[in-house]
Amino acid sequence: MSNAAIYFHPEGYETARADLKGRHVAGESFLIGFFRHSGLDSFACHIDRPELAGLFTDLAARHAPGRRVALYPTSEPSKLAAVGCLFVPGPGIDHYAWRRRSRDQRGYSLCGITHTTSESPDNLGALATAPLQPWDAVICTSQAARASVEAVLRPYAAYLRDRLGATEVPMPNLPVVPLGVDTDAFGFDPSVRAAERAALGIGADEVVVLFMGRLSFHAKAHPLPMYLALEQAARLTGKRIHLIQAGWFGNDAIATAFAEGARRYCPSVNAIFLDGRKPEVRTRVWAAADLFTSLVDNIQETFGITPVEAMAAGLPCVVTDWNGYRETVRHGVDGFRVPTVLPPPGAGADLADRYAAGLDNYDHYIGRTSQISAVDVQAAAEAYTRLIADEGLRRRMGEAGRARAAALFDWRAIIPQYLDVWRQLADIRRHAPESAPRPPGGDGNPLRPDPLRMFQAYPTRVLEPGLRLVRADGATREAVSNALAILQADPLNSPARAILSPAADLVLALDALNPPGLAVDDLAALVPPERQLLLLRSLVHLMKFGLVRTVEPLAAREP
């Protein structure tokens, strides 16, 4: 069975945070689903800092007791070959591809995922120029997400052909695998529903519409179409309607704008705001609702997990016909999809230009774009009206959605798709030709060259095989060792502590540096091949402080 080391950092998986976003919720849910449903005997994590190991291990023990956990530090990426794949919780796998090229490109696969594609198209373009291999992939969470990635890569590939005369620009594998949920967590008995509604002062015959997610008019969903449509539905049905907006605001000004907007545009609806960052709200508020709505109009999202959570909770959905929502909610079956409209291509070129120039930040860029993303208010009002007026329709659509969520979007169904992607990448890695092999002796990343190669024109001399070295005049090996220990303890030399040879190798070299000295290549041969270059730079460090010198005096180079 295929496995992958999970690049683990709380930024990708932790939901206990003030700046909670959908990708954090999706990341945490994925990790728990992976532990529970992968069927693997052991898990692997790729970590930047040792203290993160405990967090990953604790999560694994909580959700998959008794499984082994292997730790792979980012300082030693070659060891990932033992797992065969590295999974990164974002689309930017170019950095990891460049690091891998400095080692063995066939050692392991890379697999990323799209949570948002709007913030940095540069990262997407880098997928065309980085040394990605046929055995790498970026999982797209929806067909819409894949289309947005291709909308960047295809014209960028054409540019590379025109600019560089490239005859071939390899494209990354872009398999589509949706996000998942733990559908078992969304089953509520009637007592929970009664308690949640009673706590909010909601009567048994009154209708509750729920929105769950970030409360952001510029980065998630502009609320006015929802407010306007619900006001129409309230007047047409005569029902007492409560709109629960369970989420979180970026600041007080946004909170005020939402509250005032609700009073102004849907005065017939009782607007309730709850803090969706609280786990008890995020898990139980579904039980209070009769239907779910999310009229998302923003380009920053690629899938949208909340409609799937709503379906798992047995709620019919009124959502926009937008990005991944189109692939989750079936119009007329699980709920209704409300039509949306964008201006034609070309009408937003100035928005991209302002963002590229730094005149607009990311929030301004997506916020301005959302202002010209239209939602059909009349269609939304009709959908709300039908569901508010017809309890039987709500029940039928809710049951259909619950069955769909369990069959297609539960992690039990999704995790095997991840494993299958990783298995396919492993099969490709065994047979496909390597793209852009590293030249012998060259740098893996030409834009991050070995500084000793890039700046070899700076010094008088480079340490070459025939150059003979000797200990400083009259210095014994013990004297040099003692002097080195003093120098290494000096704060002035703290940067050197992590980059020099082990003490045993230095002792071997110092023993061999008796007069008349020894050639550099003979000195290097004293230690195993994998430590020879480390020894050579350590010898130059000793030369820096006059503890070792060249046998023949060096003469300054002519300019």
Which CATH fold would you assign to the domain 183-409?
Answer: Rossmann fold (3.40.50)
pLDDT score at 24: 66
Q: What is the pLDDT of residue 228?
A: 99
User: Angle, to 10 degrees, between the axis of helix 224-237 and the axis of helix 252-265?
Assistant: 30
Q: Which residues of 484-511 are buried (b: 16+ CB within 10 A; e: fewer)?
A: beebeeeeebeeeeeebbeeebbebbbe
Residue 481 has pLDDT above 70, yes or no: yes
**Alpha-carbon distance 369 to 490, whole Å?**
56
Q: Please say if the pLDDT value at position 15 is more than 70.
A: no
- Give the pLDDT band (50/70/90) at residue 18: low
Q: pLDDT at residue 4 above 60?
A: yes
Contact predicate 204/352, CB 8 Å: no
Residues 438-466 pLDDT 10s = 999 899 999 999 999 999 999 999 999 99
From CA 545, how far away is CA 483, in angstroms rounded?
Answer: 9
Contact by Cβ (8 Å): 11, 48: no
Tokens of 235: 């007047």
Tell me, what's the pLDDT at 26?
A: 77
Element (H, E) at 375: strand 374-375
Tell me how many degrees the CA angle 133-148-301 measures, rounded to the nearest 5: 110
Is residue 537 classed exposed, middle or buried when 0-12, 13-18 and 19+ CB atoms within 10 A define those classes?
Answer: middle
Residue 18 CB partners (closer than 8 Å, separation 6+): 248, 277
Query: Would the pLDDT of 507 be above 90?
Result: no
d(CA 86, CA 133): 13
Single-letter residue type at 60 = A
Other Cβ atoms within 10 Å of 97 Cβ, number = 23
Cα–Cα distance for residue pair 101/437, rounded to 1 Å: 8
Average pLDDT over residues 413-431: 98
Mean pLDDT of the chain: 94
Longest Cα–Cα distance in the chain: 103
Q: Do residues 175 and 145 lie in contact, with contact meaning Cβ atoms separated by under 8 Å?
A: no
**pLDDT given at position 27:** 80
**Can you say whether residue 488 is alpha, beta or left, with left for phi > 0 and alpha for psi between -120 and 50 degrees?**
alpha
The per-residue pLDDT for 497 is 83
3-state secondary structure 440-503: CCCCCCCCCCCHHHHCCCCCCCCCCCCCEEEECCCCCHHHHHHHHHHHHHCHHHHHHCCCCCCH
With cut-offs at 50, 70 and 90, classify the pLDDT of residue 16. Answer: low
pLDDT tens string 370-409: 999 999 999 999 999 999 999 999 999 999 999 999 999 9
109 against 189, higher pLDDT: 109
pLDDT surpassing 60 at residue 78: yes
Between residues 419 and 555, the one the model is more confident about: 419
31/19 Cα distance (integer angstroms): 20
pTM of the model as a whole: 0.91
Nearest to 480 by CA among 537, 546, 538, 547: 547
The pLDDT confidence band at residue 14, using thresholds 50, 70 and 90, is low
**pLDDT for res 240:** 97
Tokens linked to 520: 């550099």
**Mean pLDDT score, 211-230:** 97
Count CB-CB contacts under 10 A for residue 402.
20
Asked if 303 contacts 326 with a C-beta cutoff of 8 angstroms, the reply is no
Residue pair 110/77 in contact (Cβ under 8 Å)? The answer is no
Write out the E strands in 56-132: 68-73, 85-87, 109-113
Helices of type H across 133-284? 143-164, 190-199, 224-237, 252-265, 279-284
Residue-wise pLDDT tens digits, 84-94: 999 999 999 99
Residue 219, pLDDT above cutoff 60: yes
pLDDT of amino acid 19: 63
List 209's β-bridge partners, or say none. Answer: 243, 291
- Categorise residue 471: left if φ over 0, alpha if ψ from -120 to 50, beta otherwise: beta
Burial class (CB in 10 A: 0-12, 13-18, 19+), 277: middle
Q: Locate the domains of the chain by residue range.
A: 5-179+416-431, 183-409, 459-550
